[in-house]
Structure 1
Amino acid sequence: MTENEAGPTEWVAREEVGVGPWEGEWPADERYDPELLANGDRRNVVDPYRYWRREAIVSDVDGRRHPFHVAIENFQHDHNIGTVVRTANAFAAAAVHIVGRRRWNRRGAMVTDRYQHLLHHEDVNGLLTFAATEGLAVVAVDNTPGSQPVETAELPRECVLLFGQEGPGLSAEAQKTASLVVSIAQFGTTRSINAGVAAGIVMHAWVRQHADLAQAW
């Protein structure tokens, strides 16, 4: 079956992603990885980072990370954390904080956790201590009474965007101690939005308010 003959729900084999072995004389720049130059680079990275060592990529991103952090409560093994990490990586968040259980399903991160700073806190108090030490405002995201619509709220530039788990949402302690609580406007029948989707919406709201779009790829 050709690509044109494939039905709407059928997959067709695609060319392998990434690039093959480096052609021509190898670059002398130490940021390049000899193994990748020899064998090709099939990683999930943007083209400007092709063939670079992982450490070189992280160092380069560190020079232009945004001053917002992302935190998600993980008291019941939330499966959305991988998606949150992947999105935080796409928006160059300063770090992702896992609050509660240390272990989480990394499949949804699509290996982006290798390039994203990750921190763990046993409980909300640990996260709040970190935020206070770093001078970061805590912005809780939940559709609770009294929350401000994120579509019109002014998000602090240096902050921690704190998300709850799928289902129970943010813990009462997190809501009580946050300096700002925002919600996402909804117009349908569902009571809540998937935590991974919600994180992407709010991170993008921060980007629209504070990011220098000239630095985007």
Structure 2
Amino acid sequence: MPETPDGVGVGPWEGPWPEDARYDPELLEHGDRRNVVDRYRYWSVEAVVADMDARRDPERFLHVAIENWAHDLNIGSVVRTANAYNVAGVHVVGRRRWNRRGAMVTDRYLHVHHHPDAQALAGWAATAGPGGERVPLVGVDNVPGSVPIEGRELPRRCVLVLGQESTGLTAEMQAVCDVVVHVTQHGSTRSLNAGAAAAIAMHSWALQHLPPGR
């Protein structure tokens, strides 16, 4: 794969084009400057999504939900991290339109869903499991009554639920969560950035349920 002069992505395909249907003719002709791992270079978006779906364990999967009431810039960052952990779905709760800037186009490779409120998300989760069983909702926020995420066993199938950057999880969302966990802090700041907390929570789940080097 020839690198581009500026080192961003790869240039046009050199030599005979592959016959594999996963490759995108336009990317083969003009090069691939997307932020994707090498295994997906020159693949179409549809082929990447299909491969990510196939690699996900049906018995161990993660969804991520984000409350969206104020067009929070951090939503994009959470989506980008969700892509890195190959989550089964991202759920935007509240406003349908969300700030995609921080996602760096990674949302194209994910299944993104919308729910108008917390009750709608809970209704979806009630039958979201492989056999129609309920998928637990795990809130992430340092609110009164939350428990440390460190050392806690997270469900192998669950939804991690994040709130807004400034206000955290709404009372309505806390009410539908099975449990709310927080990341233990040791400094003076009152809370972590929502994107940072989401990344820690996803990593904690992955350490418990995904094989190393997957």
Q: Give the TM-score normalised by the residue count of structure 2.
A: 0.91
Deviation at 1:16, TM superposition (A): 3.2
Residue of structure 2 equivalent to 1:141 = 140
Q: Pick one of 25, 40, 47 that aligns with 2:31.
A: 40
The answer to whether the 8 Å contact 2:118/2:176 transfers is: no
Letter of the 1:88 counterpart: A
Q: CA RMSD in A?
A: 1.2
Residue of structure 2 equivalent to 1:166 = 165
Residues 13-36 of structure 1: CA distance to partner in whole angstroms, max 9, x if unpaired? x82311111111111111111111
Q: How many residues align?
A: 202
Unaligned runs of 5+ in 2: 129-133
Letter of the 1:20 counterpart: G
Q: Secondary structure at the match of 1:43?
A: coil
Q: Pick one of 83, 89, 99 that aligns with 1:89.
A: 83
Letter of the 1:190 counterpart: T
Q: Which deviates more, 141-150 or 26-35?
A: 141-150
The answer to whether the 8 Å contact 2:92/2:112 transfers is: yes
Deviation at 1:101, TM superposition (A): 0.5
Letter of the 2:42 counterpart: Y
- Could you list the runs of 4 or more consecutive aligned residues of structure 1 that deviate by over 4 angstroms after TM superposition? none
Determine whether 1:61 maps to 2:56: no
Determine whether 1:72 maps to 2:66: yes
Residue of structure 2 equivalent to 1:190 = 189
Larger Rg: 1
Determine whether 1:152 maps to 2:151: yes
Residue of structure 2 equivalent to 1:200 = 199
Residues 161-186 of structure 1: CA distance to partner in whole angstroms, max 9, x if unpaired? 00110111101111122111100011
Residue of structure 1 equivalent to 2:8 = 17
User: Percent of counterpart pairs with the same letter?
Assistant: 62
Letter of the 2:18 counterpart: P
Q: Which deviates more, 198-207 or 135-144?
A: 135-144
Q: Secondary structure at the match of 2:127?
A: helix
Partners of 2:200 and 2:191 lie apart in 1 by 13
Q: Secondary structure at the match of 1:45?
A: coil
Deviation at 1:152, TM superposition (A): 1.4
Unaligned runs of 5+ in 1: 1-13
Residue of structure 2 equivalent to 1:103 = 97
